[in-house]
A = this chain, B = another copy of it.
């Protein structure tokens, strides 16, 4: 089995399988259908939310706001029991309403393990919209006047989410693109690789005096303003929680790096972050580590138990502000086609080699043609020279109007200088 080093790096120690024996003793709250788990209690030593010990509690507000806990129950029903204007931030990763037909196979005929869970099935857009409006409205009620909300989705659902948010009075501040470092390819070659997801960041309303930790975000981005496109890898490897068979415990676990940036951007230590679709607890785990309070709602007892177990092992950092992850500067990798798109090498232009021995015509898609040879600048260069390989960048020249030859690599440098 893989993942031998998991425990060392991230001492999550999720039970291999949530069995009856290992399960928490679920405790029913008085006058409530909502089960709770105090996430700060040690593993296998559960206590109900209304116990006042440990990190859990109601924050001394007089309001019945359970804190640092996983509430097990229906999202909307549970939200309705929370007091109004009580949380500083919401992060929500709702069902995406994917509409998959058959199975999908990779070119090597292996089967893709897709999201086909019951919780992601809705009869139609109307049903999805109604559900969306309901939980968003409750989140808005629970959100403090100057709080903000983050919602994540893909093209299947994000337009409905965003429209519903605007209709409910939320004031969109940004849409943020999570660019995936390692997305799953499009196996049939019928679309662009679906390489991102969209987060919507919104204030409760247009007048909200929301928090934005500008300097923290700038520091995370090598002293440049943080942009609305974030490049973050998928949650894989030892960070990913596993079930008993070594498979993924949850189909859509989000990377902690994503939540780190979200929580750091709009909250300060001690504030409360609510996640109405907690899943396996990424939001809560990062919030706890960054010294924030959290409150999670999860319908599935198995996921809730895994989240609680994971949370119990999270140690808050001494100083949240010190946690600026150095961001990797991305190396711009320039494709020849980009020079064509941008008009530096127009389609139909002729390229030649240093000795003007060959001439090749540039296609609109960045391919070259020279006699029977067609393909990339590298491939055609190699074929003409009968060489096993060729660096097209340093082989091909563009003839300028005045008869000078300009090496492609020179032109590429101009694009690199522009940032790619």
CB distance from A392 to the nearest CB of B (A): 10
From A22-30, A72-80, A161-169, A271-279, the one touching the partner chain is A161-169
- Cβ-closest chain B residue relative to A212: B190
How many residues on chain A are close to B (CB under 8 Å)? 120
From A48-56, A136-144, A240-248, A362-370, the one touching the partner chain is A362-370
> Cβ of B172 and Cβ of A324 under 8 Å apart?
no
> Cβ of B420 and Cβ of A181 under 8 Å apart?
yes
CB distance from A186 to the nearest CB of B (A): 6
Q: Which of B8, B163, B174 contacts A159 (CB 8 A)?
A: B163
> Cβ of A317 and Cβ of B346 under 8 Å apart?
yes
A179 at the interface (CB under 8 A from B): yes
- Cβ-closest chain B residue relative to A216: B365
A227 at the interface (CB under 8 A from B): yes
In Å, the complex CA distance between A241 and B200 comes to 33
Q: Which of B228, B320, B325, B335 contacts A193 (CB 8 A)?
A: B228
A173 at the interface (CB under 8 A from B): yes
In Å, the complex CA distance between A201 and B162 comes to 18
A109 at the interface (CB under 8 A from B): yes
> Cβ of A342 and Cβ of B177 under 8 Å apart?
no
Q: Which residues of chain B are near A362, meaning CB under 8 Å?
A: 321
A348-401, CB < 8 A from B: 348, 361-367, 369, 372, 374-376, 385, 387-390, 400-401
Q: Which residues of chain B are near A177, meaning CB under 8 Å?
A: 177, 179, 196, 229
Asked, given contacts A227-B193, A264-B365, A342-B3, whether A322 binds B347 with beta carbons under 8 Å apart, the answer is yes
> Cβ of A183 and Cβ of B333 under 8 Å apart?
no
> Cβ of B320 and Cβ of A369 under 8 Å apart?
yes
Q: Which of B105, B183, B363 contacts A324 (CB 8 A)?
A: B363
> Cβ of B185 and Cβ of A342 under 8 Å apart?
no
- Cβ-closest chain B residue relative to A406: B5
Asked, given contacts A125-B167, A181-B420, A260-B364, whether A174 binds B191 with beta carbons under 8 Å apart, the answer is yes
A47 at the interface (CB under 8 A from B): no
Q: Which of B190, B229, B369, B390 contacts A109 (CB 8 A)?
A: B390
> Cβ of A414 and Cβ of B2 under 8 Å apart?
yes
> Cβ of B190 and Cβ of A335 under 8 Å apart?
no
In Å, the complex CA distance between A172 and B6 comes to 38
Q: Which of B163, B176, B372, B418 contacts A163 (CB 8 A)?
A: B163
> Cβ of B342 and Cβ of A233 under 8 Å apart?
yes
- Cβ-closest chain B residue relative to A390: B109
CB distance from A154 to the nearest CB of B (A): 8
> Mind listing 6 A-B residue pairs with CB under 8 Å?
A159-B159, A159-B165, A174-B192, A213-B365, A215-B365, A321-B347
6 closest A-B pairs by CB: A159-B162, A220-B337, A216-B365, A321-B348, A195-B227, A317-B348
